[in-house]
Amino acid sequence: VGEGPTGVALDEVRNKLYVVNRFDSDLSVVDLTDDSSVLLPLGFDPSDSKITDGRWLLYDAEGTSAHGDISCASCHVFGEMDNIAWELGSPNGTFVNPVNPLGSGFHPIKGPMATQTLKGLSNNAPFHWRGDFAVFSDFNNAFVALQGRQNPIAPALMTDFEEFVQTLITTPNPNRNIDDTMPISFNGGDPARGEQLFSTGGLFQVIGVSECVDCHILPTGARGTVIPPINVEGTQDMVVPHLRNLHKKTGFDPKSPQTKRGFGFLHDGTFADLRTYFKNFPVFTFNDDTERIDVEAFMMCFGGGPHPATGAQWTMDGTNGQARVDTLVAEADLGVIGLIAKGRDGSGQMRGYAYLGSGLWRPDRAAEPDTDLPTLAATAGPGTELTFTAVLPGEEFRLGVDRDDDGFLDRDERDVSADPDDPLSTPATVVGASVFANAPGPALWMTGQNPTRSLSRMGYSLGRTGPARIEVFDIAGRRVQTLVNNPAAAAGRFESVWDLRDSRGRQVSSGTYFVRLSTPQGTTGKRVVVLR
């Protein structure tokens, strides 16, 4: 098989094994009668070099361990957890002085520590349960101390690894509603009341701290502060952990030989559920079990990661309505998700659409005008079903209408027998003409993180050569910055970057801003949320 095998399917009738090679973007078809195989390409891989350059350091056992039998992914499975607690301390290690003046320091014998996820590490230093790794490069020692490698990873490769890990994001919490609200009830508790208790209930009695939120700052629950053991009646210094993946730690039953997970909550996986932890930890001052259950319900519905609608779908067949799609459109108008639609039209052709906002959908044929949801919904029926999918913001244009990100729309490529999965196969190479010359209007989409703390990256396309202006406005309608002001902009696809500064070079404050692209063919915009 190829590099990065991540999916396997067995066809017992034909005696074939199918293996998806994620890194090579191909499919191995293995004939199990003689172990011969053929490779089939899976098409365009949009992965950025920040992903591909450092990804192998997570998975490659041969290059990162002494015997080629262990890698970071052995425990951090697909960048996540193995649900096991490990004692990875060393009796030959050295004591590290505390980072908190009231702390006890870091003993080389750590005790059992549950494997933590690598997802969401960006901007969440210090690392590890104890916060004893100030920067990501401190993990380099693990290649020698844990995996037996003779030498640490070269600094340049460690930088590649860090850039890759920073692209890993937490998965949406499935316990939240697709409009990013919490359910009315969860596992017998009231999440809304639990959030109130978490924020203002006075449940925590430590000098200078009375609220859970004082340490576990919303929206992620992390704070980046190392807490001395005296403050939490513990045995060693611990960093305030984030709370975004608590819903993945359920299912541990210490009283049963059959349990879904090997360990539960807390750094050593001691507790099967949070309500038991609350009851047995003396620094909490809950009045009764109802309060404990309500706070547990809130924490099981904790947000702080990607929008919970990400990945949500609805297939319209002409009989099942569009209420779910209306909800997704409302969230897309807020800029927190992207939205696409895929299906076949009345002639049997595959079609795609990207939601631009303000009720408009861009079709995957450049000569066609933008359309609206009622028009799309009217086409849905038996054989012409239309599937709507919520995607990460900024990905809707590529996933909806330009699969290989080559600047030519998918249907235009299919119309002239070009391959929409191959950026080297375009209408220009097939028939020598750019379909963008007939594009009806401009398009603007986000290509970077939104909300953002550093930069706001956006892509835009122009159907015709002519004046183009991209401006940023605050919520009061005041122009903050002009990103593009070109009286003779060429047709095509481009990128613009806003450094979150105003026209005088000053950093803008937290809040909502609006980016507007204006051309003679039309105006479109996107919402950007800035976090400080």
Whether 263 has a pLDDT exceeding 50, the answer reads: yes
Whether 436 has a pLDDT exceeding 60, the answer reads: no
Task: Give the torsion sign (CA, 403, 394, 348, 426).
Answer: negative
Q: Give the span between the Cα atoms of 227 and 446, in whole angstroms.
A: 38
Q: Count CA atoms closer than 13 A to 399's CA, side-chain side.
A: 21
Cβ(301)–Cβ(243) below 8 Å: no
Structure tokens at 118: 């690598």
Structure tokens at 430: 């097939």
In the predicted model, what is the mean pLDDT of residues 253-259?
A: 84
Q: What is the model's pLDDT at position 408?
A: 85
**Tell me: the pLDDT tens digits for 173-225?**
999 999 999 999 999 999 999 999 999 999 987 767 789 999 899 888 988 88
Look up the CATH number of domain 443-530: 2.60.40.4070
Give 435's pLDDT tier (boundaries 50, 70, 90).
Answer: very low
Domain-wise residue ranges, the chain: 1-42, 43-74+128-167, 85-120+169-308, 312-416, 443-530
Q: Where are the beta strands (DSSP E) in 188-236?
A: 226-227
Structure tokens at 489: 């902009």
Q: Which fold has domain 85-120+169-308?
A: Cytochrome Bc1 Complex; Chain D, domain 2 (1.10.760)
* Structure-derived torsion over alpha carbons of residues 193, 199, 205, 208, reported in degrees to the nearest 10: -170
Cβ(66)–Cβ(59) below 8 Å: no
Q: Give the span between the Cα atoms of 176 and 219, in whole angstroms.
A: 14
**Tell me: the pLDDT tens digits for 64-94?**
999 999 999 999 999 999 999 999 888 888 8
Tokens 């939104």 map to which residue? 450
**Tell me: the pLDDT tens digits for 376-433?**
999 999 999 999 999 998 889 989 999 888 778 999 999 988 889 887 787 776 655 4
In the predicted model, what is the mean pLDDT of residues 483-502?
A: 89
In the predicted model, what is the mean pLDDT of residues 439-452?
A: 74
> What mean pLDDT value characterizes the chain?
88
Task: Give the torsion sign (CA, 145, 148, 153, 159).
Answer: negative
Q: Give the span between the Cα atoms of 177 and 185, in whole angstroms.
A: 12
Q: What is the model's pLDDT at position 437?
A: 43
The one-letter amino acid code at 93 reads G
The one-letter amino acid code at 365 reads R
Give this prediction's pTM.
0.76
Query: What's 413-472 look like in SS3?
Result: HHHCCCCCCCCCCCHHHHHCCCHHHHCCCCEEEECCCCCECCCEEEEEEECCCEEEEEEE
**Tell me: the pLDDT tens digits for 92-108?**
888 888 888 878 888 98
**Tell me: the pLDDT tens digits for 305-323?**
899 999 999 999 999 989 9
Helix (H) or strand (E) holding 485: strand 479-489
